[in-house]
Structure 1
Amino acid sequence: MERKLPKMITTAVVLTFSFSAFAQITDKRISQKSVSENGQPNLITFSDKSTYKGSESQKIFKEQLGLKDNQIFSKIRTESDKQGYTHEKFQLYEQGIKVEFANYTLHSKEGKVVSMNGEYYNLENVKTTPKLSSQAAFNRAVAHTGAQKYLWESPADAAALGYEKPKGELVLLPAMEEQGQERKSDIVRLAYKFDIYATNPVSRGDLYIDAETGKALFYNATIKHLGEHSHGAKKTSAHKHAEIAAAKSALVAGTAATRYSGTQTIETTLSGSSYILLDGTRGGGVQTYNSARTATYPTTNFSDADNNWTAAEYNNTNKDNGALDAHWGAEMTYDYWSAVHGRNSFDNAGAKIRSYVHYNLIAAGYSSNNNAFWNGSVMTYGDGSGTGGFDILTSLDVAGHEIGHAICTYTANLAYQRESGAMNEAFSDIWAACIENRSAPTKQIWLVGEDIERRSGHVALRSMSNPKAEGQPDTYGGTNWINVNCTPTGNNDYCGVHTNSGVLNHWFYILSVGKTGTNDIGSSYSVTGITIAKAEKIAYRLESLYLGANSTFANARTFGIQSAIELYGAGSAEVIATTNAFYAIGVGAAYSASTDITAPTTPASLAASGTTGTTTNLTWTASTDNVAVTGYNIYQGTTLLGSSTTTSYTVTGLSALTAYTFTVKAKDAAGNLSASSNAVNVTTLANSVSYCTSQGNSTADERIGKVVFGTINNTSTGSAGYENFTSISTNAARGTAYTITITPSWTSTTYSEGYAVFIDYNQDGDFADSGETVWTKATSTTTPVTGTITIPATATLGTTRLRVSMKYNGIPGSCEAFSYGQVEDYSVNITASGAIVTQEIVSDVATAAQVFAFTLYPNPTAGDLNIVPAEPGVYGYRILNTIGQELDSGILSSDNYVDVSNFSAGVYFFELDNGVRKLVKKFVKQ
């Protein structure tokens, strides 16, 4: 039958929460043990059967943490509290070198240790000899910072802030939850730590430089701002006036008409014939200076002739009455910490509190003057921009907030990133509310920055009672939550520290005043408040005694409940409220007198398959629980990726040619987590390839109606000449035969159709290689048509393209555009003929039971490749490329590393041979 001419057709081509797991207890001396992501205890409470004494610290660390002979915990602080507890804080040293952030605290009562908590790392084969000198590392730090000027270049300014040019401290830095890192393996890097204070553009923080490679490993910001900001330049200091010696001054009380808090009594000093804002009655002093709208820290004083600082004199266009707020606010902040918590200034040693008002942030390179910050030494206040921004930022809650950052530095020292950074910001807001509650209770204590707010549509910078009102989340992982699975930078607010702080803010509000409702994850709660007076004691104990640099919201719940128990007793109303307030913000289970603390069993046999350049498929065997397993959390290193209610999960969003490590934990309804499954290492493939186009120009008379292959069973109603069904996939094992069935669909007349099926077995982006035309059928009117496809043993493992073509009156080519018919693309995941846990070659079956394994890191690597066999011995090695060519070989040295710095970037195989068996692992050279 004659066909009509072809028509011209145009085609166009949940966040869940991770909780601290409670370990199974076999030691009768222990009543509870909570473990961190790396499997090490982060909290142990002891039973009455324990006889540990506070003087037995090293014995306790050895027995409970497995402290090694080349490690020691050195005591760095001892303090006591009103409840009769003594708290001794220790710093971990490995071979004499400090392990950064690895602190542990012993809590004793009447000489007996009742609990211990902190961060510990199980370290093996740690290198402690740097390849770089301190000066070379410093040069790398300066180059990485890239500033035009640094504070050490202005000696007068540096001296005023008590800052010296950093010499670099050699430390061991734990992996700071970088993407692709496996915190479980307790990796540490030898690094130089530098306190880098740049003044153009302005920034300050601890920068860690790898002592072997010179790479910048981690930046812990010291400058803490009131909110998100932009960095910029800072100029040199102006001339500094000499400060009048306190010994020649007279301390007196003055009257101040503050800008935001009415008339208040302040302490000043008579200096010559004038009074200055210097209070010598509180600790080492409270002094307020005038930066005079420069980007400097001079010793220029505000002064008054009669010590009656009136509105007529200071409520001027220069906003000088803001300095009175700053001075009074610093005094009230000192008084709060002294009276409520028995703390002598922010360092608990009487440190002088210095505030600088009229600091010109624009001259320092900021986009506006709408900010204030703690720079690690002093308070710094911008004047604000007024309408559309903020008024001068010297209100009481801003002062309390910023000095609160100094409190954190000298207590928990929460790292300024991700969850720890969000809690750092939250505690500053919490203390701001507490200080307002004590010194100015008529203010709106649950709003932050309400006095300075001048933006249209806003009542404050943040709201603790209703965080969503100002764009923050009130639930962990809920609305407005910023995903913390990112690389922290100043541009992303270190993964949302000023946004996610709203969650802990709301916890404190609920704990203080109570609330009933349903949170963003569907949990209904009703919390009876315990008052600020009790809540602030729990919060301070939590921050000052229990949290550490890398603590998470999960840790805050565990330690917050422990703090409430120590203050008010187990089962008390305060403990119940603390637990339920965390439940209200989406962290942990509600309180129950019989709360289940039994964790599920560990998931087993975690394996990855179908890895592409951006995805991999994880499967594992199910866990059991005394009640019921409710799901599984999936982790990349220590980062929570998501959850699954089944025993499989597809990881997406991966980078090509990158090594990843994944683990899984089971969870139950009470929030208990199992220990981590076995770790599975995955290296993604190269970036996805681009396939040629192929299509029928008309499907008006015939098209593909259905395709069945493996688990693909797709009835298609699409009428385009090409249909992309690559989201539909099936597994296909090497060496296995599969039936393919294609059902044509005709509009009316039955036409003779030819068929072809193509699979890109080597995943090179075409179907032109031998054997990739996997099935054809000559023209016929048969329906359906059926054939057999056998996956060759040489097919590359992983996901690739399957193309199905139907053409009128001829067998179609893989890249052909033809007049009538249709082309459909699917995905097929090539798998091994059997389950493969590791890539290994066994040369002697009789020794198959022999334990043989090795660890290979870092992966990816830019230089040295460390190889750590599970058992000592002599090992040969080979390095192969992806087509099996040997590039290097030898005997593994006693240092257990191989230099691959001369290799080109790409994927390689490392083969280790003990003379009986061979084991092969993949690595990526950067």
Structure 2
Amino acid sequence: MTRKITLSLLLTGAVSFYFQSNLLIAQERNPSEQTSNNSLPSFKTNPSTGSFQYDMDGKNVTSKQLINRLNEWMDANSDHAFKIINEESDDLGFKHTTLQHYYKNVKVADEIVSLHEKNGFLTYVNGEVTSKIDLSTGNSLSQSETETIVKADLKKNTELSFSNFEQAIATIDTGRGIQSFYVSKIDVFAASPLQSFTYYIDNSSRKIINKLSKIRHTDTPSTSATLNKGNQQITVDSYNGSYRLKDNARKIYTYNGTNTTINPVTGTLQGITNAEYTSNTPNFTSDATKAAVEVHWGMEKTYDYYLTRHSRNSYDGLGSVIKNYYNFSDSGDGTNAAAVDNNGQVFMIFGSGKYLNAQVFHPLVNLDVTGHEYTHLINGRNGHGGLNYQKESGALDESIADMMGTAIEFYSGITPNWTIGEGIPIPVSAYPGTYFRNMANPNVAQSIAGSAQPDTYLGTYWQNTNVTPSESNDHGGVHTNSGVGNYWFYLLSVGGSGTNDIGNTFAVSGITIQKAEKIVFRALMNYLTPNSGYMDFYNATKKAAIDLYGITSNEGLQVAKAWYAVGIGNGVLVTTEVKPLENNIKIYPNPVTQGSFTIETKENRDTKYELYDLSGKLLIPSQKLNSGTNKVSVAGIQSGVYLLKLISEGNTVSKKIIIK
């Protein structure tokens, strides 16, 4: 029996922000705060997402100067404003400022601007913005009207819990380009079946224009895994003459979830919510507690990993309690593992693998599973709105959870590997799979344990994202397309060579998983926004590598090479805007008087040159142009005017050459 399994749940993206009180509208500027727009790059955004990234190194622009000119730079009228919602500094000396976009004093959902500075000057700017919006923000739906529309859409669920109702501007990719809507936005939660969505309903047409899943699934088939880690060191506490699965120093509490359920109205826990696993001695050796002990141990390792490697104290960075419930069953279905964040409650649930009375999985308690679930909570708290669970941003959410779950396995040092959920599926003749996903070879299909994934962007097995996200299409392929990021991380960590699906021949030298994970975490926490796709992650990881290891570092180069291996970029670490080809090339002498001329270039792209006469006849066939000086002989060619063609990455520039 094939069943769709929910394995990672993130119901809200609540993040604690520091709020400034004033919208930054039409601020006065004094001469010391001004900066010429000539020092700023021409502002352009990705037409399908509104995302942008600009390297600001060497432009000597402060964050205050840019904030005062944001509207001017973005060519946005006075209806647009930007509000500072977060300011923080990191241990590398960077200051990060996050601004929320507003239109006519209404929040533009998911659209933020991130400013990154060091030593008083900006180094990088990125975010998502739609600078051309023309909407009326007058009439809007009431909350009761909005709930009625949602109830009609979720008619199979009779008990729904609503929260976070607000008016917003939503920018949606309609398939015909980006379109903006004035919407009523609301979150809805249902406990059975377990569902949660954010709805965006057009105030004018009353139609649902977007339905964003707030449930992070791991593509776990309905089968499970035994406990193969043997005896491990854990921390328990002594209480009333017995011992409990509680680690008070780390604030990790592991409970028996057998009689715990989720309230269908509020989305909070109900029933027996604090049942303890106990033992008469500090050593929990009973078969009945092995799965719970593995959850507890896994969370300790996960907590230690994030604290040691990334200075992250608990999932929110604030040292909050981590609650785990093993043997949690929803209407007899114990095939789920999830991280739930709803109505101020945060907890993990792990199923026993039973569906009704049938053991269809081993317990879902593997270390990479616990690490994956915990990472989803961190993804949602990156300070920039998390990652929307659809299309490419959802694939990144899944992929980063796999990356860090694997990194935690390697951190533990106990039988680490590059497969996800190994041992959980119970192989049968029809479905022989023994793991969920293979990061070293995403193309390997595991049948019931997970379909084949692409290892190349838009390559073989890539799932179409030009769809309306829904459960039937896996929210635009979030579990399938995560394979591209997984393979990039594998290559960056250990290296590899070959030819990808689009014909790129690659060779990557691994930089170790310890360095790769630091790059991913820095990119996540500083440079990703809600709708970030693979191109945004490509830019974010390059910037993170430069921050950590320097612009000329081997680590940065291998980041670029690993992306080239999965079909993104050219394998070269470029940190500034690429200058037009003609601006990077000098030709002299011209006119040519001594039978040769020189082409001087600093180009590091693959560039070639050809020489033609004015009739179009080819006189010098294609020659590679090397960085530096290139001497071109025209001996034997008659006096006259000729065309020198320069070709680089599909772009062609023609220059007139006069030979005397």
TM-score, normalisation: structure 1: 0.54
Match for residue 71 of structure 1 among 63, 80, 83: 80
Deviation at 1:537, TM superposition (A): 1.1
1:359 counterpart = 2:351:
no
Query: Contact 1:33–1:45 (CA<8 Å) still a contact in 2?
Result: no
Q: 1:374 corresponds to which residue?
A: 339
The verdict on how the C-alpha distance between 1:58 and 1:31 changes in structure 2, with shifts beyond 3 A counting, is closer
The correspondence of residues 510-529 of structure 1 with structure 2, limited to 5 A, is 510-529=491-510
The verdict on how the C-alpha distance between 1:541 and 1:579 changes in structure 2, with shifts beyond 3 A counting, is same
> Is the strand fraction higher in 1 or 2?
1
SS in structure 1 opposite 2:498? strand
Q: 2:212 corresponds to which residue?
A: 220
Match for residue 181 of structure 2 among 167, 183, 189: 189
- Using the alignment, how far apart are the partners of 1:54 and 1:123 within structure 2? 23
1:530 counterpart = 2:511:
yes
- Using the alignment, how far apart are the partners of 1:671 and 1:533 within structure 2? 37
The verdict on how the C-alpha distance between 1:29 and 1:40 changes in structure 2, with shifts beyond 3 A counting, is farther
Q: 1:431 corresponds to which residue?
A: 404
SS in structure 2 opposite 1:223? coil
Deviation at 1:275, TM superposition (A): 2.6
Match for residue 301 of structure 1 among 275, 288, 293: 275
- Using the alignment, how far apart are the partners of 2:111 and 2:576 within structure 1? 31
The verdict on how the C-alpha distance between 1:626 and 1:303 changes in structure 2, with shifts beyond 3 A counting, is closer
1:42 counterpart = 2:34:
no
The correspondence of residues 30-109 of structure 1 with structure 2, limited to 5 A, is 30=40, 35-37=45-47, 42-50=52-60, 52-56=61-65, 58-109=67-118
- Using the alignment, how far apart are the partners of 1:38 and 1:63 within structure 2? 22
Match for residue 549 of structure 2 among 551, 565, 568: 568
The verdict on how the C-alpha distance between 1:61 and 1:228 changes in structure 2, with shifts beyond 3 A counting, is farther
Deviation at 1:501, TM superposition (A): 0.5
Q: 2:613 corresponds to which residue?
A: none
The verdict on how the C-alpha distance between 1:120 and 1:340 changes in structure 2, with shifts beyond 3 A counting, is same
Deviations 1:229-271 (A, max 9, x none): 79xxxxxxxxxxxxxxxxxxxxxxxxxxx93322223233334
Match for residue 415 of structure 2 among 414, 439, 443: 443
Deviation at 1:54, TM superposition (A): 3.1
Unaligned runs of 5+ in 1: 1-25, 153-164, 231-257, 602-624, 630-667, 674-926
The verdict on how the C-alpha distance between 1:433 and 1:41 changes in structure 2, with shifts beyond 3 A counting, is closer
Deviation at 1:109, TM superposition (A): 0.5
1:203 counterpart = 2:215:
no
Deviations 1:793-852 (A, max 9, x none): xxxxxxxxxxxxxxxxxxxxxxxxxxxxxxxxxxxxxxxxxxxxxxxxxxxxxxxxxxxx
The verdict on how the C-alpha distance between 1:38 and 1:28 changes in structure 2, with shifts beyond 3 A counting, is farther
The correspondence of residues 104-115 of structure 1 with structure 2, limited to 5 A, is 104-115=113-124
> Is the helix fraction higher in 1 or 2?
2
Q: 1:178 corresponds to which residue?
A: 174
The verdict on how the C-alpha distance between 1:474 and 1:397 changes in structure 2, with shifts beyond 3 A counting, is same
Q: 1:310 corresponds to which residue?
A: 284
Letter matched to residue 476 of structure 1:
Y
Query: Contact 1:147–1:199 (CA<8 Å) still a contact in 2?
Result: no
- Using the alignment, how far apart are the partners of 2:213 and 2:39 within structure 1? 41
Query: Contact 2:335–2:361 (CA<8 Å) still a contact in 1?
Result: yes
Q: 1:498 corresponds to which residue?
A: 479
Which segment is superposed worse, 489-498 or 449-458?
449-458
Query: Contact 2:488–2:565 (CA<8 Å) still a contact in 1?
Result: yes
1:401 counterpart = 2:372:
yes
- Using the alignment, how far apart are the partners of 2:549 and 2:359 within structure 1? 46
Q: 1:421 corresponds to which residue?
A: 394
Higher relative contact order, structure no. (Cα contacts within 8 Å, ≥ 6 residues apart): 2
Match for residue 564 of structure 2 among 583, 586, 606: 583
Deviation at 1:209, TM superposition (A): 2.0
Between the aligned residues of both structures, percent identity stands at 32
SS in structure 1 opposite 2:551? coil
SS in structure 1 opposite 2:236? strand
Match for residue 597 of structure 1 among 578, 581, 592: 578
Q: 1:898 corresponds to which residue?
A: none
The correspondence of residues 798-809 of structure 1 with structure 2, limited to 5 A, is none
Deviations 1:62-87 (A, max 9, x none): 34323432322112222222211011
- Using the alignment, how far apart are the partners of 2:399 and 2:368 within structure 1? 13
Query: Contact 1:288–1:301 (CA<8 Å) still a contact in 2?
Result: no
- Using the alignment, how far apart are the partners of 1:122 and 1:344 within structure 2? 37
The verdict on how the C-alpha distance between 1:125 and 1:34 changes in structure 2, with shifts beyond 3 A counting, is closer
- Using the alignment, how far apart are the partners of 2:249 and 2:534 within structure 1? 38
Deviations 1:696-734 (A, max 9, x none): xxxxxxxxxxxxxxxxxxxxxxxxxxxxxxxxxxxxxxx
- Using the alignment, how far apart are the partners of 1:600 and 1:36 within structure 2? 22
- Using the alignment, how far apart are the partners of 1:467 and 1:626 within structure 2? 30
- Using the alignment, how far apart are the partners of 1:74 and 1:191 within structure 2? 20
Match for residue 454 of structure 1 among 402, 422, 426: 426
Q: 2:586 corresponds to which residue?
A: none
Letter matched to residue 221 of structure 1:
S
The verdict on how the C-alpha distance between 1:669 and 1:391 changes in structure 2, with shifts beyond 3 A counting, is farther
Q: 2:163 corresponds to which residue?
A: 166
- Using the alignment, how far apart are the partners of 1:539 and 1:352 within structure 2? 25
The correspondence of residues 4-19 of structure 1 with structure 2, limited to 5 A, is none
The verdict on how the C-alpha distance between 1:39 and 1:359 changes in structure 2, with shifts beyond 3 A counting, is closer
The RMSD of aligned alpha carbons is 3.1
Letter matched to residue 141 of structure 2:
L
- Using the alignment, how far apart are the partners of 1:534 and 1:672 within structure 2? 35
- Using the alignment, how far apart are the partners of 2:462 and 2:559 within structure 1? 22
Match for residue 487 of structure 1 among 468, 486, 491: 468
The correspondence of residues 454-853 of structure 1 with structure 2, limited to 5 A, is 454-456=426-428, 457-470=432-445, 471-591=452-572, 597=578, 670=649
SS in structure 2 opposite 1:498? coil
Letter matched to residue 468 of structure 1:
N
- Using the alignment, how far apart are the partners of 2:165 and 2:146 within structure 1? 8
SS in structure 1 opposite 2:148? helix
Deviation at 1:140, TM superposition (A): 1.3
Letter matched to residue 171 of structure 1:
A
Deviation at 1:399, TM superposition (A): 0.5
The verdict on how the C-alpha distance between 1:669 and 1:394 changes in structure 2, with shifts beyond 3 A counting, is farther
Q: Which one has the largest radius of gyration?
A: 1
Deviation at 1:346, TM superposition (A): 1.6
- Using the alignment, how far apart are the partners of 1:381 and 1:306 within structure 2? 24
TM-score, normalisation: structure 2: 0.74
The verdict on how the C-alpha distance between 1:39 and 1:426 changes in structure 2, with shifts beyond 3 A counting, is closer
Deviation at 1:42, TM superposition (A): 0.8
Deviation at 1:57, TM superposition (A): 5.1
Deviation at 1:500, TM superposition (A): 0.9
Match for residue 228 of structure 2 among 260, 263, 284: 260
The verdict on how the C-alpha distance between 1:325 and 1:117 changes in structure 2, with shifts beyond 3 A counting, is same
SS in structure 2 opposite 1:194? strand
Deviation at 1:353, TM superposition (A): 1.8
Query: Contact 1:450–1:460 (CA<8 Å) still a contact in 2?
Result: yes
The verdict on how the C-alpha distance between 1:599 and 1:306 changes in structure 2, with shifts beyond 3 A counting, is farther
SS in structure 1 opposite 2:110? strand
